[in-house]
């Protein structure tokens, strides 16, 4: 009887709480989605310039996209796009191999250098990332990788070289795969290499996909190192520097709406990749923490 | 049994002719103990090392104490009627070459120790009448028992060349006069700890800015880390509530913002919040304000804006990351709390938060470190501004962005390096203290 009473008095209160929660979520969702909607609208805006007196565009056009994809004189976006694509494909292959190799070795193999390596990785991670940037630039310069077309190689080297320090998430995932599976395979005569390539990797699809995609996305969103390395070599620019340049004083009036168009264009593939790999990201994270 | 251990000392003491010979002719021990290919390779490496030392290594080391003395000279050429420049010393290159040479020497010593031990091991294998592994077996083993060597060599070389060497190089720069101040950009000298004293001295101009920037960096990191963490967790819990409808839709709305590259959203936020940007236009059109809000030129407002925008950027990430872990919290804990009559707030602070803190301390430390080193958000939003006249650091500059300004914009390389080292020291202290005091370190089994 008492229970029944409690349920009846709870019901309207719960309904109010429910409504409040949904209203709150709605407001928050608008706050989170509004800037994105605004970029998309701006990319179709007919009036040029960064600042307008109205929030919504007065006229709509596709010219921003056309200008972005065809104007090769001032800011050559198609060229930047191919540059970035080449860099990101190559560095994606190399750094995926690096990350997964290191993670597997640290998770499954036992060797003297293992603990020191993990401690070293932690210590190196505490230094500000681009404290090393200038020195890296000097080293690349002494290798002759800072002029003309070799800037691309320089960028690839920089994006890949230190990825061996970012093993934590993959290692955490490998740690959650039962060792008994490996042991069974080894008893059947498999070598460690075969265990790695034929057993662990196929079982770790989420984390492999996660690693590939983060490695692929990195060159698209890094602008600071690319800026230092490319300096004024406009034909080596990556997409990120190009977009950044469009917002500088000399270009912003003419290029602002094109910037929005460019932002939309590179966001679409990244968004699709991300929404697709979201599941793996969550799984990878919770695996890492559990391990 | 002690003399049986495989050490360099034992190799010298008990080694046979070949083992002892390899102290001078590296690889001799392997050549004499049926590992010809490996022996030849090691010997070649030794030759290469000595050639390198003779041609440039010794010179590099010799230049290191002075960092070069010849300034770039100007000589009047009578015949051509022009000034000709004589190449002077470039201290920056001398320092880099010196650091690299030091690394080469360390590598050589390590190789020497390894080959001594290896020779002695081979000698003992033969003495005990065991088989010496052939080259084919060694290579096979690289894909089995020694797979880690195969897999980790390239990544380690990458880290060495592009992380460790640069770091040592930058750290040594902190002890020099390499700076635009006093025209020390080409030729500079060792300077001891003067730059450190300058940064730590509260009365000097640079020192005052340092403590100022440090204070804001820590305030920023604390707010950014914990607000994101708690609010992201609350959001995840609200979406995961049993009674919330359309979970996937809500999650999609928030995750969408992650999918747009961060630097793009940050640049757009910067534009939107300018005096004549979209937000001010929207508010003025609605009649809520008459004057534009100075989001980036008022110190307090700029700091708050940055923290709020960081919430916008960070909450979806936290939400994604904690969703899985939240579902792992044992249901019995909640039931027991409900039986005892605890309200939702109490349950959150007594059960959810302690459990989450316990599981995610490493993640929290990582995100604190990430926030202290969060370059993009400051550089792209406020650019460190507003900046007082005569200062190199703005009111919203973090240590990292100040480091960037000092090195790239101002070319005060030595000061920049000092700031980098100080950041590292602070992060090390914070990490050690929080980790030591965290429950996951003190009591590993609390929730098991």
What secondary structure does DSSP assign to A22-37, as a single string?
HHHHHHHHHHHHHHHH
Partner-chain contact A193 B143, CB within 8 Å: yes
CA distance B67 to B190: 8
Alpha carbon B217 to its chain's center: 17
Task: Say if residues A241 and A222 touch (Cβ distance below 8 Å).
Answer: no
User: Do B384 and B410 share a domain, yes or no?
Assistant: yes
Which residue among B194, B218, B240 closes a domain?
Answer: B194
User: Do A24 and A101 share a domain, yes or no?
Assistant: no
Chain A positions touching B165 (Cβ under 8 A) are: 135, 139
User: Do A120 and A200 share a domain, yes or no?
Assistant: yes
Three-state helix/strand/coil letters over B68-105:
CCCCCEEEEECCCCEEEEECCCCHHHHHHHHHHHHHHH
Q: Is B447 contained in some domain? A: no
Partner-chain contact B259 A165, CB within 8 Å: no
A285 near B CB under 8 A = yes
User: Do A219 and A119 share a domain, yes or no?
Assistant: yes
User: Do A41 and A109 share a domain, yes or no?
Assistant: no
CA distance A128 to B376: 13
Q: Is B349 contained in some domain? A: yes
CA distance B46 to B27: 9
Which residue among B194, B224, B245 closes a domain?
Answer: B194
Task: Collect the ranges in chain B with pLDDT lower than 70.
Answer: 1-4, 438-448
Chain A positions touching B166 (Cβ under 8 A) are: 132, 134-136, 139
User: Do A250 and A196 share a domain, yes or no?
Assistant: yes
Partner-chain contact B159 A36, CB within 8 Å: no
User: Do A34 and A73 share a domain, yes or no?
Assistant: no
Chain A positions touching B428 (Cβ under 8 A) are: 123, 126
pLDDT at A291: 33
User: Do A130 and A257 share a domain, yes or no?
Assistant: yes
Chain A positions touching B431 (Cβ under 8 A) are: 126
User: Do A75 and A58 share a domain, yes or no?
Assistant: no
Give the CATH number for residue B256: 1.10.3720.10
User: Do B115 and B252 share a domain, yes or no?
Assistant: no
CA distance B26 to B39: 8
CB neighbour burial string for A156-186, b if at least 16 within 10 angstroms, e if fewer: bbbbbbbbbbbbbbbbbbbbbbeeeebeebe
Q: How many domains does chain B have?
A: 2
Task: Collect the ranges in chain A with pLDDT lower than 70.
Answer: 1-10, 278-291
Domain that holds residue A98: 65-290
Q: Is B448 contained in some domain? A: no
Dihedral of CA atoms A90, A96, A102, A106 in degrees, nearest 10, equals 180
Token duo for residue B90: 């470039």
Q: Residue B372: closest CA among chain A residues belongs to which residue?
A: A128
Chain B positions touching A266 (Cβ under 8 A) are: 261, 264
> Is the omega angle on the peptide bond into residue A226 within 30 degrees of 0, that is, cis?
no
Distance from CA of A154 to the nearest CA of B (A): 11
Which residue among A14, A34, A63 closes a domain?
Answer: A63
Chain A positions touching B150 (Cβ under 8 A) are: 193
Partner-chain contact A50 B167, CB within 8 Å: no
User: Do B318 and B355 share a domain, yes or no?
Assistant: yes
Which residue among B127, B162, B194 closes a domain?
Answer: B194
Please name the residue that has the structure tokens 């709390």.
B337
pLDDT at B417: 92
User: Do A35 and A89 share a domain, yes or no?
Assistant: no
- Sign for the pseudo-dihedral over CA of B412, B409, A240, A55: positive
Dihedral of CA atoms A74, A79, A84, A85 in degrees, nearest 10, equals 150
Which distant-in-sequence residues (6+ apart) come within 8 Å of B247 by Cβ? B239, B240
Give the number of other Cβ atoms within 10 Å of residue B74's Cβ.
9
User: Do A9 and A147 share a domain, yes or no?
Assistant: no
CA distance A12 to A31: 29
How buried is B366 (Cβ within 10 angstroms: 0-12 exposed, 13-18 middle, 19+ buried)?
middle
User: Do B150 and B244 share a domain, yes or no?
Assistant: no
CA distance B178 to B185: 6
Q: How far is CA B220 from CA B304, B307, B317, B368, in A?
A: 10, 7, 18, 10
Q: Is B124 contained in some domain? A: yes
User: Do A135 and A167 share a domain, yes or no?
Assistant: yes
User: Do B362 and B244 share a domain, yes or no?
Assistant: yes
Please tell me whether residue B415 adopts helix, strand or coil conformation: helix
User: Do A23 and A142 share a domain, yes or no?
Assistant: no
Cα angle at B288 between B284 and B292, to 5 degrees? 45
Distance from CA of B324 to the nearest CA of A (A): 6
Give the CATH number for residue A96: 1.10.3720.10
pLDDT in tens, A122-162: 889 888 877 888 889 889 988 888 888 889 999 999 999 98
User: Do B177 and B205 share a domain, yes or no?
Assistant: no
User: Do B390 and B281 share a domain, yes or no?
Assistant: yes
**Closest Cα partner for A260 from A4, A37, A24, A92?**
A37
Direct distance between the N- and C-terminal alpha carbons of chain A, in angstroms, rounded to an integer: 48
Domain that holds residue B72: 2-194
DSSP for residue B134: P
User: Do B190 and B203 share a domain, yes or no?
Assistant: no
Among B156, B166, B360, pick the best mutation site for testing chain A contact (most A Cβ within 10 A).
B166
What is this model's ipTM?
0.84
Q: Residue A231: closest CA among chain B residues belongs to which residue?
A: B408
Q: How many domains does chain A have?
A: 2
Which distant-in-sequence residues (6+ apart) come within 8 Å of B377 by Cβ? B266, B306, B309, B310, B313
């Amino acid at each position: 009887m008492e229970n029944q009473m409690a349920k009846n008095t709870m019901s309207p209160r719960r309904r109010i709480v429910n409504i409040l929660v949904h209203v709150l979520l709605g407001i928050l969702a608008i706050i989170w989605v509004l800037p994105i909607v605004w970029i998309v609208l701006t990319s179709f805006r007919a009036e040029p310039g960064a600042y307008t007196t109205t929030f919504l565009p007065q006229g709509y056009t596709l010219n921003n996209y056309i200008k972005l994809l065809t104007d090769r004189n001032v800011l050559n976006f198609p060229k930047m796009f191919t540059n970035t694509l080449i860099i990101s494909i190559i560095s994606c292959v190399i750094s995926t191999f690096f990350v997964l190799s290191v993670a597997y070795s640290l998770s499954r193999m036992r060797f003297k250098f293992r603990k020191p390596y993990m401690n070293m990785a932690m210590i190196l991670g505490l230094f500000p990332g681009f404290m090393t940037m200038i020195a890296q630039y000097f080293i690349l310069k002494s290798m002759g990788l800072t002029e003309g077309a070799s800037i691309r190689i320089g960028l690839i080297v920089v994006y890949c070289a230190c990825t061996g320090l970012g093993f934590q998430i993959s290692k955490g995932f490998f740690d959650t795969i039962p060792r008994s599976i490996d042991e069974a395979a080894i008893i059947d005569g498999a070598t460690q290499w075969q265990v790695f390539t034929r057993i662990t990797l196929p079982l770790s699809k989420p984390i492999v996909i996660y690693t590939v995609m983060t490695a692929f996305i990195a060159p698209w969103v890094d602008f600071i190192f690319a800026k230092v390395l490319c300096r004024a070599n406009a034909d080596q620019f990556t997409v990120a520097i190009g977009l950044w340049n469009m917002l500088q004083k000399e270009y912003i009036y003419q290029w602002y709406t094109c910037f929005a168009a460019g932002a939309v264009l590179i966001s679409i593939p990244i968004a699709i990749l991300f929404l697709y790999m979201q599941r793996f990201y969550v799984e990878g994270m919770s695996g890492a923490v559990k391990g | 049994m002690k003399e049986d251990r495989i050490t360099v000392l034992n190799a010298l003491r008990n080694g046979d002719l070949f083992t002892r010979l390899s102290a001078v002719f590296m690889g001799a021990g392997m050549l004499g103990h049926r590992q010809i290919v490996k022996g030849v390779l090691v010997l070649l490496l030794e030759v290469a090392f000595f050639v390198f030392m003779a041609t440039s290594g010794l010179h590099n080391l010799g230049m290191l104490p002075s960092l070069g003395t010849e300034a770039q000279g100007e000589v009047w050429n009578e015949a051509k009627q022009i000034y000709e420049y004589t190449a002077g010393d470039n201290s920056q290159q001398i320092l880099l070459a010196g650091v690299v040479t030091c690394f080469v020497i360390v590598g050589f010593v390590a190789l020497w120790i390894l080959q001594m031990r290896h020779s002695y091991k081979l000698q003992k294998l033969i003495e005990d009448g065991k088989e010496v592994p052939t080259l084919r077996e060694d290579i096979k083993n690289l894909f089995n028992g020694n797979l880690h060597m195969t897999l980790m060599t390239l990544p380690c070389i990458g880290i060495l060349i592009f992380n460790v060497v640069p770091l040592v190089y930058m750290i040594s720069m902190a002890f020099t006069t390499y700076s635009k101040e006093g025209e020390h950009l080409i030729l500079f000298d060792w300077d001891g700890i003067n730059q450190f004293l300058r940064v730590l001295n509260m009365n000097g101009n640079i020192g005052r800015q340092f403590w100022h920037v440090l204070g804001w960096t820590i305030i920023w990191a604390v707010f950014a880390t914990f607000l994101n963490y708690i609010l992201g967790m609350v959001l995840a819990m609200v979406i995961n509530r049993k009674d919330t409808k359309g979970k996937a839709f809500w999650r999609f709305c928030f995750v969408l913002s992650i999918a747009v590259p961060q630097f793009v959203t940050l640049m757009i936020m910067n534009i939107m919040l300018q005096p004549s940007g979209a937000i001010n236009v929207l508010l003025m059109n609605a009649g809520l304000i008459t004057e534009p809000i100075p989001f980036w030129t008022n110190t307090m407002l700029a700091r708050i804006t940055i923290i709020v925008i960081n919430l916008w950027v960070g909450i979806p990430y936290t939400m994604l990351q904690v969703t899985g872990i939240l579902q792992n919290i044992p249901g019995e804990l909640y039931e027991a709390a409900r039986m005892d009559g605890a309200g939702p707030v109490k349950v959150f602070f007594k059960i959810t938060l302690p459990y989450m803190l316990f599981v995610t301390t490493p993640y929290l430390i990582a995100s604190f470190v990430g926030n202290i080193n969060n370059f993009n958000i400051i550089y792209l939003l406020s650019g460190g501004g507003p900046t007082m006249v005569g200062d190199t650091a703005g009111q919203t500059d973090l240590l990292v962005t100040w480091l960037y300004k000092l090195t790239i914009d101002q070319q005060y390389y030595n000061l920049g390096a000092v700031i980098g080292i100080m950041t590292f020291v602070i992060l090390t202290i914070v990490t050690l203290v929080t980790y030591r005091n965290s429950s996951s370190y003190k009591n590993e089994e609390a929730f098991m």
